[in-house]
């Protein structure tokens, strides 16, 4: 499966990319695009370039939209720090981003493939919405969008809103109404596919990639430790895990509408059970995940990548 990853690295974005890299038999990353979300688009682009240089992997990276469609950006340093990936101290990136804007990059990369591609969306959907509105002819060439975002019942930035959708609800609305098949990993399944903090402790004595993952998790899990939790949620790894081992997850079909306004409801993903009269609006929403096996999948991926790295 050929995939394009749209992201805002982000500790969990990086862990999701590492998970994908460990399974070339399942997927090939054709390119990575970045968008403003966890931090500025400049910061998140530098973050992923530094990581790819550090692990010696060459994947084209294209920088995308610096702000939502009609709003100011709202980075959230509480979880990810000012850089979007505080914690690990990595050398400055030697690699450079592709000169093309992410929207142009996506259009050209998708159209040059012989078969429809899968887009993995781990961030606000600004780049994807701009792609679909600028190049509407692209739709038949996208097999599906596997995304992290939204929720059925709760929220993590407002009582009923998840951050990726909240940050650019107008963009999410365009994507969800596009008719492209979507597999949504919302807050509910991410809450079940959690990683125990104790499982990451041994990584600090592991190989090069494991030690990087430990440094990522050590910072990222600070929010959980402050609250006395013994686990954290690696949100962005969930859609990638579902693509690798779909049997770990279950869900149902819903029609998802995006609320774009409201001080309490901006970015809410309003879910209704699918009706036969609106099949083009049906989204597969993952609701349950096997947390133990998800954690094992993550840890196995790091061990696999360690074997490809000099210590």
Per-domain boundaries in the chain? 2-306
What pLDDT is stored for residue 289 in this prediction? Answer: 97
Q: Which of 85, 99, 267 is nearest to 167 (CA)?
A: 267
Domain 2-306 has CATH 1.10.10.10: no
What digits encode the pLDDT tens for the residues 178-195? 999 999 999 999 999 988
Instruction: Please identify every stretch of the chain with a pLDDT value under 50, giving residue numbers as ranges.
Output: none
| pLDDT, position 278 | 65
pLDDT at 276: 63
Q: What residues have CB less than 8 Å from 99, skipping those under 6 apart? A: none
pTM passes above 0.85: yes
Q: Tens digit of pLDDT for each residue in 109-138? A: 999 999 999 999 999 999 999 999 999 999
CA distances from 20 to 4, 7, 245 (A): 11, 13, 12
């Amino acid at each position: 499966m050929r995939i394009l990853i749209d992201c805002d690295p982000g500790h969990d974005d990086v862990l999701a990319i590492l998970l994908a890299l460990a399974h070339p038999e399942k997927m090939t990353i054709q390119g990575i695009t970045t968008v403003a979300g966890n931090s500025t688009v400049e910061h998140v682009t530098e973050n992923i370039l530094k990581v790819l240089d550090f692990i010696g992997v060459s994947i084209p990276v294209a920088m995308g939209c610096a702000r939502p469609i009609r709003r100011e950006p709202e980075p959230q340093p509480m979880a990810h720090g000012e850089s979007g990936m505080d914690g690990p101290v990595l050398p400055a990136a030697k690699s450079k981003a592709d000169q093309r804007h992410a929207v142009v990059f996506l259009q050209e990369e998708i159209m040059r493939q012989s078969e429809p591609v899968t887009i993995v969306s781990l961030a606000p959907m600004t780049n994807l919405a701009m792609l679909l509105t600028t190049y509407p002819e692209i739709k038949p060439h996208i097999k599906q969008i596997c995304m992290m975002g939204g929720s059925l019942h709760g929220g993590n930035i407002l009582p009923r809103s998840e951050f990726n959708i909240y940050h650019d609800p107008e963009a999410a609305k365009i994507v969800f109404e596009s008719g492209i098949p979507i597999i949504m990993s919302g807050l509910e399944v991410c809450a079940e596919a959690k990683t125990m903090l104790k499982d990451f402790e041994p990584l600090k004595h592991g190989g090069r990639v494991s030690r990087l993952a430990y440094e990522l998790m050590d910072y990222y899990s600070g929010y959980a430790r402050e609250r006395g939790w013994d686990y954290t949620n690696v949100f962005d790894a969930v859609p990638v895990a579902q693509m690798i081992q779909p049997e770990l997850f279950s869900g149902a079909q819903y029609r998802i509408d995006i609320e774009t306004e409201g001080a309490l409801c901006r970015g809410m993903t309003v879910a209704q059970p699918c009706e036969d009269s609106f099949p083009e609006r049906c989204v597969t929403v993952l609701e349950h995940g096997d947390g133990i096996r998800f954690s094992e999948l993550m840890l196995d991926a790091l061990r696999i990548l360690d074997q490809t790295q000099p210590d």
